[in-house]
Amino acid sequence: MALEVVKVIGVFKVPPAPSTSPEAFISGDYLPLTFFDAIWLRFPPTQRVFFYEIKDLSLSVFSDAILPKLKHALSLTLQYYPPLAGNLTWHPLTGKPAIHFATDDDGVFLTVAESTDDFYSLSTDDVKAAKDMHSLLSSDFHVTENQVSRS
């Protein structure tokens, strides 16, 4: 059951909200990896797909009312979990792998798409072949300001 048509409405890079609370501040901007983290370095990152059924709602209402609230909620959440929005890199002093966060480049990608396929067949708990869901994963996008375009 491969997806017939998936229309990407937009891909957005959502940065963490600026922290205004001293309790939310994390000192340092590198999170060192542990021995147990190193095992996972050779595997590709996990990509999640969430399905929401929205009936009788126009795209303009979704884009103007719901999407900004989703992006804002994600931004507020990342404020308290900044390493989730960071990048895997080498620590400049130790030379070991670490997650670098608290930079202007931090953020997570949020892809919004729509499909005319059967919602219940897409979102069922049944196991699906990875090739059937591959078109939902955005690995070929390029960042242009706050929105991302597909190449």
Strand segments, DSSP code E, in 15-107 are: 30-32, 87-90, 97-100
Mean pLDDT (the chain, rounded): 77
Ranges of H-type helices in 22-123: 35-38, 59-61, 67-80, 119-122
* pLDDT for 24: 44
- CA-CA distances (angstroms) from residue 106 to 16, 59, 88, 133? 7, 28, 11, 27
| Residue 150, φ and ψ in degrees, nearest 5 | -85, 135
Average pLDDT of the segment spanning 24-33:
69
In the predicted model, what is the mean pLDDT of residues 61-65? Answer: 90
Q: Which residue has the higher pLDDT, 119 or 21?
A: 119
**What are the residue ranges spanned by the domains of the chain?**
6-18+28-150
Please compute the mean of the pLDDT values over residues 80-84 and round it to a whole number.
84
How far apart (Å, rounded) are the C-alpha atoms in residues 97 and 85?
A: 16
pLDDT of residue 96: 87
- AA letter at 63: S
Where do we find the tokens 């608290």?
102
- Domain at 6-18+28-150: CATH architecture: 2-Layer Sandwich (3.30)
pLDDT of 111-126, one tens digit each? 888 877 777 777 777 7
